[in-house]
């Protein structure tokens, strides 16, 4: 299909891009275009003006931080992350996103800002405690990813703001993690996707993050699971009891690929498996 007519701007710098979106209105930002372009073509989305930030070099790059944390520029591609990381959970999550073309063009900032309910990257970011760096002509603010994702395709970005990077602090010592998913065979999107990170200290679980995608209206931290496992010995029984809380407080999606009952059961199964793997990998 052919999209509805739209204007097009291609700023050469971040400052120009912020100026282009400062007035708000029917403006959409495009980077890799892996999510937005199909929606425009199918006329499920429209734009008065597209602001193309894809050539702004200052928004690219994997930048280690002085405190041991990490910052990823918004235009860093999936392929860039794979080339730069040895973190097993990140490799597992990103290697299964789309195909080679998608990983070469799709950007981490685009995936987070798009907030697709079945996207893998938001769950990965939640499990690693990332925050989102937003900038506008008014200044900059940092918003934890847990709270930034408001619903299906909805985030806390204001109309005049641009997501410029995502950032995390140092990871806990001995952290183990994994990403497991039940994929929809045709699209590769997650029916259930689980990112889990765990660390132990003194024989007990001292740190746990569990993030789930494909189940609710947006990727979410399964905080009831985390609370149930934290402070336990990480035994099989403790993991199973914690995993039973995978969908607490969540309205579970039901569609042609999986009904709510099936998704609920699979969420429990995949959370248990992910926690078992993460614990086995923790030092």
Residue 34 pLDDT greater than 80, yes or no? no
| Tokens at 124, concatenated | 């990965």
Helix (H) or strand (E) holding 7: strand 7-9
Bridge partners of residue 168, in order along the sequence: 70
Total count of domains within the chain: 3
- CA 228 remoteness from chain centre: 24
Using a cut of 0.85, tell me whether the model's pTM lies above it: yes
Q: Give the chain's mean pLDDT.
A: 95
Residue 47 pLDDT greater than 80, yes or no? yes
| Shared domain check, 163 and 63 | yes
Residue 38 pLDDT greater than 90, yes or no? no
- CA 235 remoteness from chain centre: 29
Mean pLDDT of 20-27: 86
Bridge partners of residue 221, in order along the sequence: 211
> What CATH number is given to the structural domain containing 268?
3.30.390.50
* Residue 186 pLDDT: 87
Domain assignment present for residue 1? The answer is no
| Shared domain check, 273 and 182 | yes
Residue 1 pLDDT greater than 90, yes or no? no
Domain's final residue, options 145, 168, 191: 168
Domain assignment present for residue 220? The answer is yes
Domain holding 26, by residue range, is 7-52
* Residue 272 pLDDT: 98
| Shared domain check, 157 and 81 | yes
* Residue 53 pLDDT: 95
| Shared domain check, 276 and 202 | yes
Contact 247, 265 (CB under 8 A): no
| Shared domain check, 263 and 194 | yes
In this prediction, residue 167 has a pLDDT band, given cuts at 50, 70 and 90, of very high
> What CATH number is given to the structural domain containing 47?
3.30.43.10
| Shared domain check, 15 and 87 | no
Mean pLDDT of 191-220: 97
Residue 28 pLDDT greater than 80, yes or no? yes
| Shared domain check, 164 and 63 | yes
Residue 37 pLDDT greater than 90, yes or no? no
> What CATH number is given to the structural domain containing 125?
3.30.465.10
Other C-beta atoms lying within 10 Å of the C-beta of residue 152: 13
């Amino acid at each position: 299909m052919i999209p509805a007519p739209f204007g097009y701007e291609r700023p050469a710098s971040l400052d120009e891009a912020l100026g282009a979106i400062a007035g708000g209105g029917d403006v959409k930002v495009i980077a890799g275009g892996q999510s937005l372009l199909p929606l425009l073509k199918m006329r499920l989305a429209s734009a008065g003006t597209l602001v193309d930030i894809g050539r702004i070099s200052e928004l690219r790059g994997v930048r280690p931080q002085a405190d041991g944390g990490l910052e990823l520029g918004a235009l860093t591609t999936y392929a860039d992350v794979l080339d730069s990381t040895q973190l097993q959970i990140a490799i597992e999550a990103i290697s299964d996103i789309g195909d080679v073309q998608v990983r070469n063009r799709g950007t981490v900032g685009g995936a987070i800002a798009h907030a697709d309910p079945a996207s893998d990257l938001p769950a990965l970011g939640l499990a690693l405690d990332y925050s989102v760096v937003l900038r506008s002509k008014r200044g900059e603010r940092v918003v934890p990813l847990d709270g930034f994702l408001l619903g299906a395709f909805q985030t806390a970005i204001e109309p005049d703001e641009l997501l410029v990077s995502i950032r995390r602090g140092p990871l806990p010592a001995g952290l183990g993690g994994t990403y497991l998913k039940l994929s929809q065979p045709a699209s590769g999107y997650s029916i259930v996707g689980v990112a889990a990170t765990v660390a132990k200290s003194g024989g007990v679980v001292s740190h746990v993050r569990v993030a789930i995608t494909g189940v609710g209206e947006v990727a979410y931290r399964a905080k009831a699971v985390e609370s149930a496992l934290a402070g336990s010995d990480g035994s099989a029984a403790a993991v199973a009891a914690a995993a039973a809380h995978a969908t607490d407080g969540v309205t579970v999606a039901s569609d042609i690929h999986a009904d709510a009952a099936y998704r609920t059961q699979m969420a429990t199964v995949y959370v248990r498996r992910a926690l078992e793997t993460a614990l086995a990998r923790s030092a």
